[in-house]
């Protein structure tokens, strides 16, 4: 019996167009600098401001790759601002983090029918959760989900930027299952990456559903031991009843 469905975030619930770090960083740094100017704060010139953020970010990315742990971009931003003698109220730090995150949010969309699928699962008592590998702070991801009308469906959200683990580590799956109070064989995970999402969930004892990118051939699923593939979240309304998870009730 399945009692819970867990989702990856990026390119599963929130679909992002190809994200290129360099232009997004430039866009975010310009937007955040302009915002600070509106607050009337003494600022360094833009080049110094931008480079003060870029170098620690690059070092943190390298550290993350070596240690296989994600960092929180907001924590990094606060440290950089402190070095630049820019002090803000706590809420303003969150607003500034959202401005930095803006280029990613503007390049995203949600599959048509996603809210209907989530509503139907919730009505049938299926517990829902998110497990995401991310560098973004929870406040930005939660706000993005809120603006897309998805936050209310996910009382449990695990972001690797706020934990010691990231997928495919078993522990981050176990943490989510513990909060949901379900056993691994009572849960299904939906994700877009074979190595981190699908194999990670399977090693944690869960069944998995693969949502590959449009340019990925479904034949890859065979070699990865994936038996269930969807192209968009709305496909779950057909697949989950076939898997014996639930009946699909009319809204």
- pLDDT tens digits for 3-41? 999 999 999 999 998 778 889 999 999 999 999 999 999
* Inter-CA distances, 84 with 28, 75, 92, Å: 17, 15, 16
Lowest mean pLDDT among 154-163, 216-225, 227-236: 216-225
DSSP structure class, residue 245:
S
DSSP structure class, residue 12:
T
Where do the domains of the chain lie?
A: 4-16+109-242, 21-105
CATH superfamily of 4-16+109-242: HAD superfamily/HAD-like (3.40.50.1000)
pLDDT tens track for 109-131: 999 999 999 999 999 999 999 99
Q: What is the pTM of this model?
A: 0.93
pLDDT tens track for 66-105: 999 999 999 999 999 999 999 998 889 999 999 999 999 9
Owner of token pair 């919730």: 122
pLDDT tens track for 222-236: 556 787 999 999 999
pLDDT bucket at 242, cuts 50 / 70 / 90? confident
Choice between 162 and 215, residue whose per-residue pLDDT is larger: 162
- Average pLDDT, integer, range 192-216: 91
DSSP structure class, residue 75:
H
CA angle 189, 73, 69 (to 5 degrees): 55
């Amino acid at each position: 019996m399945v009692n819970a469905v867990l989702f990856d975030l990026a390119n599963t619930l929130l679909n992002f167009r190809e994200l290129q770090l360099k232009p997004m960083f430039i866009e975010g740094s310009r937007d955040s600098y302009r915002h600070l100017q509106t607050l009337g704060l003494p600022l360094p010139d833009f080049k110094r401001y931008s480079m003060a953020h870029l170098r620690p970010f690059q070092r943190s990315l390298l550290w993350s790759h070596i240690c296989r742990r994600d960092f929180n971009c907001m924590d990094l931003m606060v440290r950089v601002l402190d070095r630049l003698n820019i002090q803000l109220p706590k809420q303003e730090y969150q607003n500034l983090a959202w401005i930095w995150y803006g280029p990613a949010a503007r390049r995203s969309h949600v599959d048509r029918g996603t809210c209907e699928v989530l509503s139907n699962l919730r009505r049938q008592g299926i517990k829902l959760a998110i497990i995401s590998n991310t560098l973004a702070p929870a406040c930005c991801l939660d706000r993005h989900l809120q603006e897309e009308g998805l936050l209310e469906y996910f009382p449990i959200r695990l972001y690797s930027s706020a934990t010691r683990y990231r997928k495919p580590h078993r522990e981050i799956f176990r943490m989510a299952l513990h909060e949901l109070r379900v056993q691994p064989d009572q849960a299904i995970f939906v994700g877009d990456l074979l190595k981190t999402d699908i194999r990670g969930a399977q090693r944690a004892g869960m069944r998995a559903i693969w949502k590959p990118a449009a340019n990925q051939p479904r034949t890859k699923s065979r070699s990865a031991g994936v038996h269930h593939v969807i192209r968009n979240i709305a496909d779950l309304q057909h697949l989950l009843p076939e898997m014996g998870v639930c009946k699909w009730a009319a809204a």
